[in-house]
């Protein structure tokens, strides 16, 4: 069974094709084909790149800004040109979409129909950068592949079981009635790495208290207990919680009132400031890329040093909050770009939890595979796991469309 996965973002789309008939449920296979559309590099056009499992690749600049045209061209590279892996597009059994916001409506993946599309559209005010792109992706696939089953897998779904006390903001009760609550994001990744952690340790997911740390350009933590998310650091929007690449994470709301009242900031100014000009980028004055900020710190740049110190401080503080929500700790998982690669972050973040008996190997370095970086006698396992969101989406499609054989 071949499943196409589309992760449609505001300025780039990524897509993969998996063959699930030969897949081993415990290991994510390499996709048969992988492609991307990137609208950020070409004025009035889009860069299309594709590669297949045999290593053939193509790159082309298309003179269109139309997302549907871009997706159609991308899908054609499955059946034409150097990256061809299919004889016919009809070999694709289903298409899985990452949809960022499913609100409170969806706790599980769903087959897309008119009602699901209307719900995704109604949630655009809560995810203005993402849900429109996700919806366009669904429409474009229908244009290119006709009436193929399409499945929406929501980034918010894993968090939808959070207890009310964790999901509710302490504002007026009217907020509860208006759906102003903590939704959480990166759920596909948090769920995948929690399940993978249990498999790596040979334990039942339901028996573990797991703290998952998704540290990429966007950063969030999740507290996973009995297989469910009981708390997370992102909230109504992906701005809450940890310091991130260019997002501030949580700041005193009084600060925003001050900037508006005394410094003349508009709503749009604050949006740009908090989402694009803060975090590692804002504090270092250099970049949202952890690699560049660390390099600058090592060369003695004081702003870069401050940026890393604040990143670690806030990470540890929020990890502590998640451990309290878990009421204990069996496993910490690090994942995503920073979490999978940055031993400095593993070491500095974990230093705060040695009092729990957590011990890391001396000088743990990055391995090719998912790895356990805690000492044998550590009271807490510490795992570094490659997040596999596309694979998780493909598996969710299989589980939904072939429940007898599917596995998540
Ligand atoms: P993601 O959003 O998961 O793609 O992660 C992007 C972030 O991961 C960027 O801030 C990069 O700085 C960081 N990153 C990616 N690779 C590395 C690496 N080898 N070492 C440190 N940070 C990395």
Domain limits for position 145: 2-154
| Pair (145, 210) in one structural domain | no
Q: Are 19 and 1 in contact (CB under 8 A)?
A: yes
CA dist 396 and 152 (Å) reads: 9
In DSSP notation, 323-341 reads: HHHHTS-SEEEEEHHHHTT
Task: Among 90, 121, 154, give the residue marking a domain's end.
Answer: 154
CA distances in angstroms from 119 to 94, 101, 105, 116, 337, listed in the order given? 21, 10, 8, 5, 31
For residue 216, the CA-to-ligand 1 centroid distance in Å is: 6
Question: How many distinct helices (H) and strands (E) make up the chain?
Answer: 14, 14
Task: Among 97, 130, 154, give the residue marking a domain's end.
Answer: 154
pLDDT tens digits, 336-395? 999 999 899 999 999 989 999 999 998 777 778 899 999 999 999 999 999 999 999 999
| Pair (257, 369) in one structural domain | yes
Q: Are 134 and 112 in contact (CB under 8 A)?
A: no
- Residue located nearest, by CA, to atom 16 of ligand 1: 337
Output the pLDDT for position 27: 67
The answer to whether residue 168 is domain-embedded is no
For residue 215, the CA-to-ligand 1 centroid distance in Å is: 8
State yes or no: pLDDT of 26 exceeds 70: no
Task: Among 154, 171, 193, give the residue marking a domain's end.
Answer: 154
Q: Are 288 and 280 in contact (CB under 8 A)?
A: yes
Strands 46-52 and 57-62: antiparallel
State yes or no: pLDDT of 405 exceeds 50: no
Count of CB atoms within 10 A of residue 81's CB?
12
The answer to whether residue 361 is domain-embedded is yes
| Nearest Cα residue to 348 out of 379, 324, 314, 377 | 314
| Pair (207, 148) in one structural domain | no
The answer to whether residue 75 is domain-embedded is yes
Strands 209-215 and 331-335: parallel
CA dist 64 and 171 (Å) reads: 45
**Probe residue for ligand 1, chosen from 9, 216, 218 as the CB with the greatest number of ligand atoms within 8 Å:** 216
Mean pLDDT of the residues in the chain:
92
Output the pLDDT for position 406: 43
Give the mean model confidence (pLDDT) for residues 37-41: 83
For the chain, the domain total comes to 2
Q: Which atom of ligand 1 is nearest to the CA of 290?
A: 12
Output the pLDDT for position 149: 94
Output the pLDDT for position 390: 93
According to DSSP, residue 27 is labeled S
Q: Which atom of ligand 1 is nearest to the CA of 366?
A: 19
For residue 343, the CA-to-ligand 1 centroid distance in Å is: 12
For residue 337, the CA-to-ligand 1 centroid distance in Å is: 3
pLDDT tens digits, 190-210? 999 999 999 999 999 999 999
Q: Which atom of ligand 1 is nearest to the CA of 280?
A: 10
- Residue located nearest, by CA, to atom 19 of ligand 1: 341
**Probe residue for ligand 1, chosen from 281, 290, 311 as the CB with the greatest number of ligand atoms within 8 Å:** 290
Count of CB atoms within 10 A of residue 268's CB?
8
| Pair (251, 132) in one structural domain | no
Q: Are 333 and 383 in contact (CB under 8 A)?
A: yes
For residue 289, the CA-to-ligand 1 centroid distance in Å is: 7
| Pair (22, 125) in one structural domain | yes
For residue 144, the CA-to-ligand 1 centroid distance in Å is: 33
CA dihedral (175, 179, 180, 182) positive or negative: positive
pLDDT tens digits, 256-267? 999 999 999 999
CA dist 104 and 157 (Å) reads: 8
Task: Report, as residue numbers or ranges, the catalytic residues.
Answer: 155
Query: Can you give the CATH number for the domain in which 91 is found?
Result: 3.30.420.40
| Pair (117, 207) in one structural domain | no
Q: Which atom of ligand 1 is nearest to the CA of 218?
A: 2
In DSSP terms, 298 is beta-bridged to none
Q: Are 247 and 235 in contact (CB under 8 A)?
A: no
Give the mean model confidence (pLDDT) for residues 154-165: 95
**Probe residue for ligand 1, chosen from 11, 338, 347, 389 as the CB with the greatest number of ligand atoms within 8 Å:** 338
For residue 237, the CA-to-ligand 1 centroid distance in Å is: 22
| Pair (120, 253) in one structural domain | no
The answer to whether residue 55 is domain-embedded is yes
- The fraction of the chain above a pLDDT of 70, given in percent, is 97
| Pair (149, 206) in one structural domain | no
Output the pLDDT for position 21: 80
92-99, strands of its sheet edge to edge: 57-62, 46-52, 33-38, 12-19, 2-8, 92-99, 150-154, 110-111
Q: Which atom of ligand 1 is nearest to the CA of 293?
A: 12
CA dihedral (208, 242, 157, 175) positive or negative: positive
The answer to whether residue 353 is domain-embedded is yes
pTM of the complete model: 0.93
| Pair (207, 127) in one structural domain | no
pLDDT tens digits, 206-223? 999 999 999 999 999 999
| Nearest Cα residue to 153 out of 211, 193, 106, 215 | 106
| Pair (300, 220) in one structural domain | yes
Among 28-32, 124-128, 278-282, the range of highest mean pLDDT: 278-282
Q: Are 211 and 319 in contact (CB under 8 A)?
A: yes
State yes or no: pLDDT of 408 exceeds 70: no
Output the pLDDT for position 29: 78
CA dist 117 and 78 (Å) reads: 26
State yes or no: pLDDT of 25 exceeds 80: no
Output the pLDDT for position 403: 64
Q: Which atom of ligand 1 is nearest to the CA of 217?
A: 2
φ, ψ of residue 220 to 5 degrees: the values are: -155, 160
| Pair (98, 220) in one structural domain | no
pLDDT tens digits, 62-96? 888 888 899 999 999 999 999 999 999 999 999 99
- Residue located nearest, by CA, to atom 14 of ligand 1: 337
The answer to whether residue 181 is domain-embedded is no
State yes or no: pLDDT of 322 exceeds 80: yes
The answer to whether residue 394 is domain-embedded is no
- Residue located nearest, by CA, to atom 22 of ligand 1: 338
| Pair (119, 245) in one structural domain | no
Residues within 6 Å of ligand 1 by CB: 216-217, 245, 288-291, 336-338, 341-342
The answer to whether residue 403 is domain-embedded is no
């Amino acid at each position: 069974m071949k499943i196409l996965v589309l992760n449609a973002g505001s300025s780039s789309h990524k897509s993969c094709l998996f063959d699930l008939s030969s897949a081993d449920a415990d290991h994510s296979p390499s996709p048969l084909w992988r492609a991307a559309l990137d609208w950020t590099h070409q004025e009035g056009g889009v860069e299309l790149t594709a590669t297949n499992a045999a290593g053939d690749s193509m790159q082309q600049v298309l003179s269109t800004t139309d997302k549907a045209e871009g997706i159609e061209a991308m899908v054609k590279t499955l059946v034409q040109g150097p990256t061809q892996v299919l004889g016919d597009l009809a070999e694709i059994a289903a298409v899985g979409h990452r949809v960022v916001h499913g609100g409170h409506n969806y706790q599980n993946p769903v087959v897309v129909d008119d009602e699901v599309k209307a719900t995704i559209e109604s949630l655009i005010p809560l995810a203005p950068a993402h849900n429109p792109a996700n919806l366009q992706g669904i429409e474009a696939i229908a244009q290119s592949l006709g009436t193929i089953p399409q499945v929406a897998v929501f980034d918010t779904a894993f968090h939808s079981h959070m207890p009310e006390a964790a999901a509710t903001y302490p504002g007026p009760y009217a907020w509860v009635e208006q759906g102003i609550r903590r939704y959480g994001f990166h759920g596909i990744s948090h769920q995948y790495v929690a399940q993978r952690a249990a498999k790596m340790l040979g334990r039942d997911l339901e028996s573990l208290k797991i703290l998952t740390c998704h540290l990429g350009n966007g950063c969030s933590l999740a507290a996973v207990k009995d297989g469910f998310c009981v708390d997370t650091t992102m909230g109504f929007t992906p701005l809450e919680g940890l310091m991130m690449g260019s997002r501030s994470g949580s700041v005193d709301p009084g600060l925003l009132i001050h900037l508006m009242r005394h410094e003349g900031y508009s709503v749009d100014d604050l949006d740009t400031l908090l989402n694009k000009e803060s975090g590692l980028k804002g504090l270092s004055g250099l970049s949202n890329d952890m690699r560049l900020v660390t390099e600058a710190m090592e060369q003695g740049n004081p702003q870069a040093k401050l940026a890393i110190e604040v990143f670690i401080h806030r990470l540890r503080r929020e990890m502590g909050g998640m451990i309290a929500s878990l009421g204990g700790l069996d496993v910490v998982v690090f994942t995503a770009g920073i979490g999978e690669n940055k031993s400095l972050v593993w070491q500095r973040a974990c230093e705060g939890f040695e009092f729990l008996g957590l011990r890391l190997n001396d000088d743990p370095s990055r391995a090719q595979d998912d790895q356990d970086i805690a000492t044998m006698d550590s009271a807490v396992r510490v795992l570094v796991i490659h997040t596999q969101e596309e694979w998780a989406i493909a598996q969710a499609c299989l589980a939904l469309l072939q429940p007898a054989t599917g596995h998540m």
